[in-house]
Structure 1
Amino acid sequence: MRLVYLSVWGTVLISYFLIARTQSLGQSLRHLLLWGLIIVGVAAGYGLWQDITQQNDVVVSGDGEVILRAGRNGHFHLGLEVNGTPVRFIIDTGASDLVLSQEDAARVGLDPQSLPYLGQARTANGIVGLARVTLDEVALLHDGLEIRDSNVPAFVNEGELDVSLLGMGYLRRYARIAIEGDRLILER
């Protein structure tokens, strides 16, 4: 969507310079076209601004429900603190457990190079090694809501993983998990 807005902005700017330089058009027609382009540009800028600022994809209801909105790619993302370090997860109901990428594992204080990758998982990218770890704390801290879990079992993925996965092993800690359209609702 951003590419569309940026394309419209580019078209508006190029058109403005072309029309502003044209001497053969009548003054009234020229002003009409320029105002039309300004209006289209403002509309495109507003749409781009809405798209950029719509990053608040997590809402906490008054009942303590955590409501996630699907991202542009249709997936649900959730930021948690793991051992005090922010980690962005993708909700993956097809994953059995909480799985950290090697990069995130290193950021939360684990040494991915020294872990014993004794387990295996079948992924879309083939079979990868997994190392079982225990995380001291996993916390959801948002809008005054604090959900903290201690001694959380997890895995570190030995292969390529762009984003850490929040799988069913962790999601089962919630009393209710519901998907309603582009919203995922978690309730303790």
Structure 2
Amino acid sequence: MDSEVLFHILQDLGLPEDYGEKRGLPFYEEAKILVKIGLNPYGKTIYLEPDTAKAWKKMKKAALDENIELLPLSGFRSIHTQAAIIRMKLEAGRTLDDIMTANAPPGYSQHHTGRALDICTPGFIVPEKAFDQTPAFQWLTIRAQEFGFIMSYPERNSEGFIYEPWHWYFVL
């Protein structure tokens, strides 16, 4: 994405151009090639970049073989979609400072890469801390790394985001 376009998107949200850099967040390019991995529990099609999709498929099957059902909640998210999510939260009356603890600014979300996946399980289909009490989360903490996934935002993470036990990033 053109840096001037990103500057205008950040400016429109009330964020300075250097917000990500000052906060120490890495910039993430948008994925160029995406594949469908299925639907989330709300019926929305989820996309990942091809290598991540393959790893997800293997991990999901391995979990299912152990009676753990992993469901995709959110995958690829464009810079424009990230901005729309933040705009919607602002319009709902949330403060920008509050939003920036749970959402990365446009250009700085791992979801842009197509390698980030928010994961849920039946009975826990919203991204909330309680997910860490599920057998699915316990399985992920033990096995996800075998498939190349790490939990990006553990408690007290250096990026300053809230604890996100549902957010996993493909690193291999």
Q: TM-score, normalised by structure 1?
A: 0.24
* Structure possessing the higher radius of gyration over alpha carbons: 1
Per residue, is there more strand in 1 or in 2?
A: 1
Q: TM-score, normalised by structure 2?
A: 0.25
